[in-house]
Structure 1
């Protein structure tokens, strides 16, 4: 029996596209919480986002419509642009709303914010790791990216500056 007649195991051929366009970014204010009594001062970053999409090629040699992939990523970035981001699940930060204000209570301090300037995210902290995980979850949970192509894996990277990024991934069936 020759090698060509041996039954090869079936597998799905996958390919990956990487999206990291100039417009895949958002500017946001935040502070990182390090412990129950230590945090950064409020400051901002120009966060850059990269998305890796792994999936099957169609009969035309494409995984999907690049334009649609980019539109979804741009929309996700725009949804966070020019907000002060606060973690809604921090074990060390308590948030309360009163009229037009959100008050963040941390280590005996009360920090006031206008409600119209704040987005409370379902995160423990506002870090590149948590933001990458949040954006990856949104891509999967909202279903838009999965509706575009037969995707097997996603990876989202968020950087707050050169040489500093967090990454999170999703795998079909995992």
Structure 2
């Protein structure tokens, strides 16, 4: 087995604040928000320059993902327990006895079943892998951690090769 190198990226600017709700999860079913922090780890064989990935390439990718989600309402697009109605300027969500209406520009429809840190870490990992894999053939795997506040984090890891 060849020796493998890993890099871990955890920059202060790789964070976002967002609101969400989680159906059938007690008090988390109420509209609430968090400060989220991303950690990205990549592993593989260093290239001839001794690097797995250029930090100047990966850091802007992570920062852009965070900007897309910052100060937004996160809506789980794949959750069939709620109804989503998309209007010209607003998004309406209904489930059980609840009805939320948000300005469309303030929302992100995330292609996940729930906006838990587990699902968000998977979404971010798959998204970054799609950008990294074509231009960095020596990256063998990527892992993304999404921290909710300061005390808990979920991670998602995929093999690229």
TM-score, normalised by the number of residues in structure 1: 0.85
The 5 Å alignment of 1:26-105 reads 26-34=16-24, 39-105=28-94
Distance apart, 1:59 and its partner CA = 2.1
Query: Over residues 45-94 of structure 1, what are the superposed CA-to-partner deviations in whole Å (9 max), with x where a residue is unaligned?
Result: 11000000001112222223122121221112112112111001112111
1:160 equivalent in structure 2:
148
In structure 2, runs of 5+ residues without a counterpart are none
CA distance in 1, matches of 2:52, 2:129: 17
Could you say which residue in structure 2 is the equivalent of 1:145?
132
Native 8 Å contact 2:82 2:95 kept in 1: yes
After superposition, the C-alpha distances for 1:22-50 in whole angstroms (9 at most, x for unaligned) are 01111111112226x97522121110000
- Structure 1 98/72 Cα, relative in aligned 2: closer, same or farther at 3 Å? closer
Equivalent residue in structure 2 for 1:23, among 4, 10, 13: 13
Separation in structure 2 between the aligned mates of residue 31 and residue 74 of structure 1, nearest angstrom = 24
**Contact 2:75/2:109 (8 A) holds in 1:** yes
- Higher Cα Rg, which structure: 1
Cα offset for 1:109?
A: 2.3
**Alpha carbons 2:83, 2:94 under 8 Å: kept:** yes
8 Å Cα contact 1:64/1:149 also seen in 2: no
Q: Any gaps of 5 or more consecutive residues in structure 1? A: 1-10
> Is the alpha carbon distance of 1:38 and 1:66 closer, same or farther for their aligned partners in structure 2, counting shifts above 3 Å?
closer
Q: 2:129 touches 2:160 (CA, 8 Å); kept in 1?
A: no
Q: With structure 2 as the length reference, what TM-score do the two structures score? A: 0.91
Give distance in 2, aligned partners of 1:160 and 1:86. Answer: 17
The runs of at least 4 consecutive aligned structure 1 residues that moved more than 4 Å come to: none
The number of aligned residues is 160
Residues of 2 paired with 1:33 and 1:47: CA distance?
20
